[in-house]
Structure 1
Amino acid sequence: MNKDEAVNQLGASAPGWSSLLQPARLRAALCANDRLKLYLSVLQAAAAHAHAPHQALLDLAREIAAAGIGVREQAEWLHDLPATAALEGEAVRLPELPRLAAQLREDLGQMARPLLAQADADPALAERVGDWQARLQALAEGASLLDEALLRDLTSGQPEAGDSLHRLVMDLHKALNRLAARLASDNVAGAHAWDLAADGSDRPRVEAFMRGLARTRALKGEHPGLDTAATREGARLMIQNDIGTNDAHVIVLQVDTGGAAPSISLTYSDLHRQRFAFFQRLLAEVGAQWGPTQSRQTPGLNAGEAYHVGSARFAPADEAALQLMLEGIGERIVFLIDWNRARKRLLPFVDKAAAVAVLDATARQRVGHLAWLTLGGERLIWNAMAAQGPSAFRLGDRLDEVMGEDAAAAFLVEALALADRARAQAQPPALVADQVRTLLAQRLQGRHGGFEDLAEHAGLCHAMAQGLRDALAHGHDRDAAAAAHLAARAKTWERQADHLVMRARSQAERYPQWQPLLRLLEQSDDVADALEEACFVLGLRAEQAGSAPAAVRDALQALADCVLGAVQDHLKALTVAATLGQRSDAADRDEFLGASWRVLQAERHADELLRTARRALAQAARSDPDPVALTLGNELAAALELASDALLSLGYGLRERVFQRLDPGNA
């Protein structure tokens, strides 16, 4: 006889005793809720197995344990039940369906009991419970066939599918949460609590969870949610948070202190797979070890939507670590509220992966997305884009198409952070709109200047110049394998450089402001082409037998050193140019001019070195008249000198672009 039944027998005829039953009945109802959700999961797993018998069965062991089913025979029966399902026509034959229906009926009554015992019990809810108990009774006494309509009536969580047992369970769960708030005999840092451990050990644990929740609670603004209830069941402290308003979006923590070491078990349910994965990543930061995610999805049901449930386990080393984990869990829950709505509202600007990455980044920064949604969401971004004028964005343009994927994502992260700071400082929405508009203008100025793409292209040129210089320094002009490897890598780098040019060309066809960037990138691509050709010729030279004279090697080495130095100075000039503006200080301008001037001087020096190399090759031909070696040596030197010529042209173009930006008349 359990405590609930004992109290019931003692006080059946005594007025007011029924109130003593409520905490125990409420705990029993919450446990029944866990079992009901498990039974529905078993039903869907059985249907899935019947339709795809060759696929591996879902392992429900973790779900069964989380539901508190400790009787081995009962646990084994539920675990093995899906394997007994088989198709019979268009229906599923499930031999144990009547027994499962009886279990559903029993636990539905257990779950509804504390609610229906209230003087102000909802008659509509009571009627739904009665209707479903009658249906389940008929099912328990009937055949073992589960057709698609019956499965939908039992397991659907979608409002458009009509009432279902699953939706009734969710509605009962919400009502139980409200009842728990009314019955709570204590308030622990904002959590409704009752029947906590008499020795006071539960309070600091609940306080730790609520401390984390309070740290980020303000991020949700006026959005409802985050109500918490806590109670004790045997050796377990149970903490439940309702997250937001979604019926199927619930977190339950069980803190077990009955063993040798404390542990935390967390059960999480969510309608959205991507948000589930997001929460898994968040909780991994505080030590969550997740089991398999069980999807409540059956072909043809719920319009393709899934209801997902998973469990995580935390293994703290001691009490202090346990409280830190509870605090970390509480701190991260707010980022789940309206997460999927925020993800969808980012999709007009970036692709799906980038939208998730933006929300990951804002959660890590503890700024969230709810303030952005409250202040207009996508309208803030659309208005900022429109304010840039038609030369920057045209109707239908995506942010990442104009700015590039990484730059667009970085801008969105910063825009969401601006919105959150505005919330914290109670700034007016108009000011936030101006800040986002200004931020976008600043980001576009950098993109339209082209220095990011130019720097990426110059980095590829530098890789080729460095590889060529090092190859000559280490004698790879006599190592065919090493030289061939360099030539292959140079070809890859040259193709990547070509891709940058092609992307800029595509943008320039649509946006006039990209034309200056395109011209500079095309000049930079001449450098890449010349360096890739030099690497190729080096590979051909390495295939020749014999070794070039020291004078030839020294001349080619000096030429490669000169070109590498020029590329490095070009990179430095680009880095400084990206930060130059009308208010830049004199030191920055002098640094840019010095670096760009050295690029121009390198071309003159390369001309002299080319002649030195040709002279050395001609002298070498007198003692070893090998026309192939002579030709390839000359071509290698010419390709290096051609790279310096291209750098000269690029340097002049970059200087002109920077001078235009510094000229107030071009502002």
Structure 2
Amino acid sequence: MSAKTRIVDLLGERALVVPALIATALTANEQAKYLLALLQMAAAQAENPQIPAPTLKAEREACGMEDAGLDRAIALTENDGGGQYHIPGAARIVKRLGELLTTMVAPLEKAEQPNAIEYAQRLARLIDTLPSGEGDMLDAPSIAAMTSGQPRAGDGLHVLVMDLHRDINRLQAAIANEDVAGAKAYGLDDADRAIVAAFMAGLNRTAALKFDHPGLDTVAARHGDTLLIQNDIGTTEAHVLVVKVTGHTVAVTYTDVHLSRLRFLQALCDGTDLAWQEVRTREAAALGDDDLFYMTLGTATAADVPGVCALLQRLASRIVFLIDWNKARKRLGLLVPNDTAVDILTWAAAYDFGHRAFLALGGERLVYDALEQAVKTPLRYGEPLHEMIGKDVARDYLRFVLQTTSTGLLQGQSAALIRDRVRAELFTHFRTADQRLLGICADHAAAVVRLASGLKAALRAAAGDKAVMLERNAIHAKLWESQADEAVKTLRATVRRLTGTEVFRQVIEQADDAADHLEEAAFQARLLFDAVPPETLPEPLLDLTDLAVESAQAYRQAVDLAPHVQRGNAQESVERFLEATDRIVTAEHQTDERHRAVTALLMATPDDYRRTHLLNGLSQSLERATDALQRAGLILRDHVLADVTFA
């Protein structure tokens, strides 16, 4: 039995004409939406004439509207200043909208659908209230009434278009005479079936990632020389993807209420050769911004049918990642910055994990439940995860969460098991907190070394009558000291949330005292040669700078070695760590001696009181810096040995 005969057998003689009416109605749907967008954007242009006017030419051609004069309508629209707009062609646009909606009602009437009469009555009432467009003049309220897609604002042409489109799709699915890999289809030839099968192969490969969410229903039909494929994506009214295949040319029309999700789809299609037209928005400042969606058109021409199939297979495999995308972005946005959330979703789509499982298992609540068991202070809902464990670590952890939830649900694992794995991974991140905090301490230690080394080099250059080095060093020292302060702030913020990490705050705060004293020493050294002409510096003072550098370098080495000791590495690491901390103590004792030598020399040598005061202050700052480094080093040593090595 032929396909046509099966339709006649199932639906009766009206089945011969209903598919054609549906195809025409779907074209009318696209043209009606184009005209509504044109009216709305014309009003917006009249209110903001300084903005370059779009033409919507690509959209007009894509929907098969032949009136090229409409391409200039937006640019030529004028505001009379009294709430009226002169829109070239307005009268015939209004008339054409009525005709297009009549075309959309026709297949429902012919198929004797239960709601066909209601649709016809709604259309009749709306046509009676339409403005005439006489003189091509329309006012803002009339345009708003026609173009609003919000049912709460009352019935209107756009609301009726959306309702009709939904029921036309349902009717199309009901009368489809064949199934092509899950797509409802009618009127296809063998070449069409191969293309639709390729689309469905891509869709079905990832469709399971929507889990229990409705959506992804696909309808395909032949209309003239064009194969139409439509996917309903999810449940959002203005969320539509339509594919047209004419010969080897593919045109993809995509509309979305979220611009960021539209951009996301474009990014997902990288590598498909789709060239996207400029994104169009249906926001009109003069009419308010309650009714808003974005539209884009992507086109590509393949070399042959296999090329068309490959493109559609890739495109279709990405559709599932659009479902609830904005919801997932918002949920992740409670944990990390928005750009990081988008990066995580992009990664999850690239590796075919998606985000629906993450949402199905609680979204951000899944993470906060794990956090409540991992941190020591009460959580505030919505408190960013990246402020607790760092942005990069938070990103990697959330990638793990999306991967684990997706693979877990696909494999039939229990929700409890998946939650336990998410919790265990978070504990792993917190168990490695010592390494992260020691990394911050290492950055701080590097700043301390720069402060000590810079002062040593500048003082020895100044002793050779190059006092300009002291001015430069004082400027650099202020910068290095500021960098050290930032490290302290970062570590304090992290320690507040990590159980058992208070010791690292103590270590870095002691080391930061050293940074402060060294920056003060740089300031005093600059004043020394501002107040008194350069002379040979006391040798004990130069010895102090050598010891300060040695102490800073030993402290930095101890901090760098501490993570290796903590991980229970070779005995050599333990020995080197202990030797570094011992050098800090030795340098501090020697500093005490050299500081006393400087004091004795200054008391025994008559000198300018300003120079004496500054030399003594400089010596004292260096001595205090090494004292602070010794305290930091000993605290770190006790923690590593008592709390780690012998734990």
Q: Report the TM-score when normalising by structure 2.
A: 0.80
Give 1:429 deviation, angstroms: 1.8
Relative to structure 1, the CA distance from residue 293 to residue 379 in structure 2 (aligned partners, 3 Å threshold; closer, same or farther) is: same
Residues 143-182 of structure 1 mapped to structure 2, 5 A cutoff: 144-182=136-174
| Pick aligned residue for 1:501 from 488, 512, 518 | 488
For 1:502, the aligned partner's letter is K
Equivalent in the alignment of 2:30: 34
Of the three residues 386, 405, 413, the one matched with 2:399 is 413
Match of 1:48 among 44, 53, 56: 44
State the 1:633 CA deviation.
Answer: 11
* CA apart distance, 1:472: 9.1
Identity of aligned residues (%): 32
Q: Distance in 1 between matches of 2:334 and 2:111?
A: 49
The answer to whether the Cα contact below 8 Å between 1:266 and 1:311 also exists between their aligned partners in 2 is: yes
What is aligned with 1:368?
Answer: 354
| 2:639 corresponds to | 657
Listed as ranges, the matches of 1:91-102 within 5 Å are 91-94=84-87, 96-102=89-95
- CA 1:193–1:596 in 2, change beyond 3 Å: closer, same or farther? farther
Give how far 1:277 is off. 2.9
**5 Å matches for 1:75-154?**
75-94=68-87, 96-123=89-116, 125-127=118-120, 130-131=123-124, 134-135=127-128, 138-140=130-132, 144-154=136-146
Q: After superposition, where does 1:112-511 map in structure 2 within 5 Å?
A: 112-123=105-116, 125-127=118-120, 130-131=123-124, 134-135=127-128, 138-140=130-132, 144-196=136-188, 198=190, 200=191, 202-233=192-223, 236-257=226-247, 262-284=248-270, 286-299=272-285, 304=290, 306-314=292-300, 322-388=308-374, 391-396=376-381, 398-400=383-385, 401-447=387-433, 449=434, 451-462=435-446, 465=449, 491-505=478-492
Tell me the amino acid that sits aligned with residue 202 of structure 2: G
**Counterparts in 2 of 1:539 and 1:248: CA distance versus 1, 3 Å:** farther
The answer (yes or no) to whether the contact 2:458–2:470 under 8 Å persists in 1 is: no
Name the aligned partner's letter for residue 123 of structure 1.
Answer: A
Output the CA distance in 2 between the equivalents of 1:633 and 1:49.
73
8 Å CA contact 2:239, 2:254 repeated in 1: yes
Return closer, same or farther for 1:511/1:437 CA change in 2, 3 Å cut-off. closer
| Residues 638 and 595 (structure 1), Cα distance of their counterparts in 2 relative to 1, 3 Å cut | farther
Q: Look up the match of 1:12.
A: none
Measured after TM superposition, the shift of residue 120 of structure 1 is: 3.0
Distance (Å, rounded) in 1 between the aligned partners of 2:621 and 2:535: 20
Cross-structure match for 1:515: 502
The 2-side partners of 1:545 and 1:325 are apart by: 78
Q: How does 1:594-605 map to 2 (within 5 A)?
A: 594-595=576-577, 597-601=579-583, 604=586
Over residues 441-465 of structure 1, what are the superposed CA-to-partner deviations in whole Å (9 max), with x where a residue is unaligned? 3333444x4x424413422542674
Measured in 2, the distance between the counterparts of 1:103 and 1:645 equals: 87
In structure 2, how many angstroms separate the alpha carbons of the residues matched to 1:632 and 1:366? 67
The DSSP-based 3-state class of the residue aligned with 1:187 is strand
How many residues in Structure 1 have an aligned counterpart in Structure 2? 626
Structure 2: distance between partners of 1:96 and 1:102: 10
Once the two structures are TM-superposed, the CA of residue 651 in structure 1 deviates from its matched residue by 2.8
Residue 56 (structure 1) shift: 2.3
Counterparts of 1:462 and 1:26, CA distance in 2: 72
Using the alignment, how far apart are the partners of 1:317 and 1:538 within structure 2? Answer: 74
Deviations 1:279-335 (A, max 9, x none): 233233645443322111123757645211122334656665544432322222111
Paired with 1:647 and 1:319, the residues of 2 have a C-alpha distance of 72
Gaps of 5+ in 1: 1-6, 8-14, 616-624
Q: Which amino acid aligns with 1:115?
A: L
Distance in 1 of aligned mates of 2:345 and 2:131: 45
Q: Contact 1:231/1:239 (CA < 8 Å) preserved in 2?
A: yes
Q: Secondary structure at the match of 2:359?
A: helix
Shift of 1:101: 0.6
Q: 1:470 to 1:302 in 2, by over 3 A?
A: same
Change (3 A) 1:229 1:302: farther
Q: CA deviation at 1:263?
A: 4.3
Going from structure 1 to structure 2, the CA distance change for 1:327 and 1:607 (only over 3 Å counts) comes to farther
SS in 2 for 1:284: coil
Residues 101 and 111 of structure 1: is their aligned pair in 2 closer, same or farther, counting only changes over 3 Å?
A: same
- The Cα of 1:610 is off from its aligned counterpart by 11
Contact 1:85 1:94 in 2 (8 A): yes
- The CA distance in 2 between the partners of 1:386 and 1:475, in whole Å, is 53
Native 8 Å contact 1:81 1:96 kept in 2: no
* Matched residue, 2:511: 524
**Alpha carbons 1:569, 1:596 under 8 Å: kept:** no
Which amino acid in 2 is paired with 1:326?
A: L
The alpha-carbon distance between structure 1 residues 647 and 104, as it changes in their structure 2 partners (threshold 3 A), is: same
2-structure distance, mates of 1:159, 1:542:
79
1:270 is displaced (CA, Å) by: 0.7
Equivalent in the alignment of 1:622: none
Which range moved further: 170-179 or 405-414?
405-414
> In 1, Cα distance between the equivalents of 2:453 and 2:469?
13
Relative to structure 1, is the Cα distance of residues 385 and 590 closer, same or farther in structure 2, using a 3 angstrom cutoff? same
TM-fit CA distance, 1:116: 2.3
Number of the residue aligned with 2:600: none
